[in-house]
Structure 1
C-alpha cells in the first residue's frame, strides 16, 4: 500500500481565502459590481483570480443583454402601451425584420446564459472550496491581470 502526500487543511487555507470562495456567490447577487469591488481591494491572489473570472462572466452576460435588447427593440415595428398600438419602426422594412429576429435569438441565448450563471456559480464555488480557480466557459476576458 502506498501513501501519497496531499495538502493538509492548514496549507490549503493559506492558499485560498474566504473572499475567493464567496466572490462567486457575490456575483450571483450583485452582477459584476460586487466582484469588481472585491477585486480592487483584495491583496490575495486567489481572491483576485476568482474575482477576475467572475467579473468576466458577468460583464459578458451584461453585454449580451444590452445587445439583445437593443437589437430586439430596433426590430420592433409596433408597440402596445395600455392597449394602444403605436408604430415605432426606426429602421426600413427589411432591416427591422432582421434586427427583430436576431434580437429574439439573442434573447434566447441570454436566457440560456442566465441559467448557466446559476450552474457556473455552483461549479466555481465548489472549485474554489477545493482550492482551485475555474474559468467560466464562454466568458470574454474583459479584465486581465492588473496590479
Structure 2
C-alpha cells in the first residue's frame, strides 16, 4: 500500500528569485532607493513585484516623515540658528496650535510606521521565501499609479 503524498509544485519554486526575497531586507538599509533600483534593473516578474511593494511602503513612510517634519517646522514658535533665536514664520496663534497638533499626530504616525517597517520587512521576506509577493498594508501604490 502506498502512502499518500502531497504533490509538489515545481512552478512555484521556479517562479521565485533571490532578488525578490532580498529586496525587503535591502529596503531596510536603503529605504526606497534600493527597491527602486531593483525594480528598474530586474526583468524577473517576482522580483519586480516584491520591489514594487517594498518601494511603495518605504516611499510612503519617507513622505509621511517629510510631511511631519515640515508641519512641525511650520508650527515652531522659535528656531535657533547660530545661537540666535528667530521666528521662522508669523502664523496666527490658532493656526499655529492646529499645525502643532497635526504635526504631533503625524510624528506619532511616522514613529508607528517606522516600527511597523521592521515587522513588515520580516513578514514580506518570509512570504517571498514561500513564493508570495506580499503587499504592505497601508502603503500608497505609487508605482502602479504613476508608472
TM score, norm. by length of structure 2:
0.89
RMSD: 2.0
Structure 2 unaligned regions, length at least 5: none
Structure 1 unaligned regions, length at least 5: none
Matches within 5 A, 1:24-43: 24-43=24-43
Provide the residue aligned with 2:105 in structure 1: 105
Match of residue 9, structure 2, among 7, 18, 29: 7
Matches within 5 A, 1:1-147: 2-8=4-10, 11-80=11-80, 85-144=85-144
CA deviations 1:1-32 (Å, max 9, x no partner) are 64331324xx4441000000001111111111
SS of the aligned residue for 2:79 comes to strand
SS of the aligned residue for 2:143 comes to coil
CA deviations 1:88-111 (Å, max 9, x no partner) are 343111111110110011001100
How far apart, CA to CA, are the structure 2 residues paired with 1:133 and 1:89?
Answer: 46
SS of the aligned residue for 1:88 comes to coil
Relative to 1, partners in 2 of residues 1:89 and 1:29: Cα closer, same or farther, differing over 3 Å? same
Would you say how many aligned residue pairs link Structure 1 and Structure 2? 145
How far apart, CA to CA, are the structure 2 residues paired with 1:90 and 1:6?
Answer: 68
How far apart, CA to CA, are the structure 1 residues paired with 2:145 and 2:72?
Answer: 35
Task: Give the Å deviation of 1:85.
Answer: 4.1
TM score, norm. by length of structure 1:
0.89
How far apart, CA to CA, are the structure 2 residues paired with 1:145 and 1:89?
Answer: 35
Moved more, 85-94 or 108-117: 85-94
How far apart, CA to CA, are the structure 2 residues paired with 1:55 and 1:28?
Answer: 11
